[in-house]
Amino acid sequence: MRIHFIAIGGAAMHNLALTLQKKGHTVTGSDDVIYEPSRTRLAQAGLLPEQEGWFPEKITPEIDAVILGMHARIDNPELIRARELGLPVYSYPEFVFHESEGKKRIVVAGSHGKTTTTAMILHAMQYAGLRTDYLVGASIDGFDRMVELTDQAPTIVIEGDEYLSSPLDRRSKFLHYRPHVAVITGIAWDHMNVFPTYDQYTDCFVQLILSLEPGAVLIYNREDPEVVRVVEQTLARHPELQVQPIPYATHPYEIRQGKVWLVDGSKRYPVTLFGRHNMSNLSAALLAARQAGVSSADFYASMADFRGAKNRLECLYDEPRTVVFKDFAHAPSKVRATVAAVKELYPDRRVVACLELHTYSSLNRDFLPQYRGTMAGADRAFVFYSHHAMEIKRMPPLDPAWVAGEFAHPALEVKTDIESLREAVRALPVEDTVFLFMSSGSWDGTDWLAELGLEKK
Q: How many residues does the chain have?
A: 457
Q: Cα-flanking dihedrals φ and ψ of residue 355, to 5°? A: -125, 130
Report H helices in 292-317.
Answer: 296-302
Do residues 221 and 280 lie in contact, with contact meaning Cβ atoms separated by under 8 Å? yes
The alpha carbons of the chain give a radius of gyration, in whole angstroms, of 22
Do residues 87 and 168 lie in contact, with contact meaning Cβ atoms separated by under 8 Å? no
Q: Cα-flanking dihedrals φ and ψ of residue 322, to 5°? A: -145, 135
Say whether the peptide bond before residue 179 is cis (omega within 30 degrees of 0): no
137-157 mean pLDDT: 91
Residue 67 in this model has a pLDDT that exceeds 60: yes
Distance (Å, rounded) from C-alpha 162 to C-alpha 329?
17
> Residue 152 class from Cβ within 10 Å (0-12 exposed, 13-18 middle, 19+ buried)?
exposed
Indicate the SS3 state at residue 53.
Answer: strand
Q: Cα-flanking dihedrals φ and ψ of residue 446, to 5°? A: -70, 135
Residue 137 in this model has a pLDDT that exceeds 90: no
Predicted local confidence at residue 24, as pLDDT: 95
445-450 mean pLDDT: 95
Predicted local confidence at residue 123, as pLDDT: 96
Q: Which of 190, 121, 249, 200 lies closest to 367, judged by CA?
A: 190
DSSP 433-452: EEEEEE-SS-GGG--HHHHT
Do residues 169 and 90 lie in contact, with contact meaning Cβ atoms separated by under 8 Å? no
Predicted local confidence at residue 191, as pLDDT: 75
First-to-last alpha carbon distance for the chain, in angstroms, is 44
Q: What is the mean pLDDT of the chain?
A: 94
Predicted local confidence at residue 311, as pLDDT: 80
120-132 mean pLDDT: 97
> Residue 150 class from Cβ within 10 Å (0-12 exposed, 13-18 middle, 19+ buried)?
middle
Question: What number of H helices and E strands is found in the chain?
Answer: 14, 20
Do residues 356 and 443 lie in contact, with contact meaning Cβ atoms separated by under 8 Å? yes
> Residue 238 class from Cβ within 10 Å (0-12 exposed, 13-18 middle, 19+ buried)?
middle
Do residues 177 and 216 lie in contact, with contact meaning Cβ atoms separated by under 8 Å? no
pLDDT in tens, 295-313: 999 999 999 999 887 888 8
pLDDT in tens, 270-291: 999 999 999 999 999 999 999 9
pLDDT in tens, 193-229: 788 899 999 999 999 999 999 999 999 999 999 999 9
pTM: 0.90
Distance (Å, rounded) from C-alpha 299 to C-alpha 117?
13
Q: Looking at the DSSP assignment, which residues form a beta bridge with residue 164?
A: 172
Q: Looking at the DSSP assignment, which residues form a beta bridge with residue 311?
A: none
Distance (Å, rounded) from C-alpha 61 to C-alpha 95?
19
pLDDT in tens, 386-414: 988 788 778 899 999 999 999 999 999 99
- Pairing of β 253-256 and β 259-264: antiparallel
Indicate the SS3 state at residue 403.
Answer: helix
* Angle at CA of residue 145, ends 65 and 60, nearest 5°: 20
Predicted local confidence at residue 95, as pLDDT: 97
Indicate the SS3 state at residue 352.
Answer: strand
**CB atoms near residue 196 (< 10 Å):** 11
338-346 mean pLDDT: 95
79-88 mean pLDDT: 97
Residue 263 in this model has a pLDDT that exceeds 70: yes
Element (H, E) at 253: strand 253-256
Label residue 457 by pLDDT band (50, 70, 90).
low
Produce one character per residue of 82-92: b if its CB has 16 or more CB atoms within 10 Å, e if not.
beeeebebbbb
227-244 mean pLDDT: 96
Distance (Å, rounded) from C-alpha 51 to C-alpha 71?
17
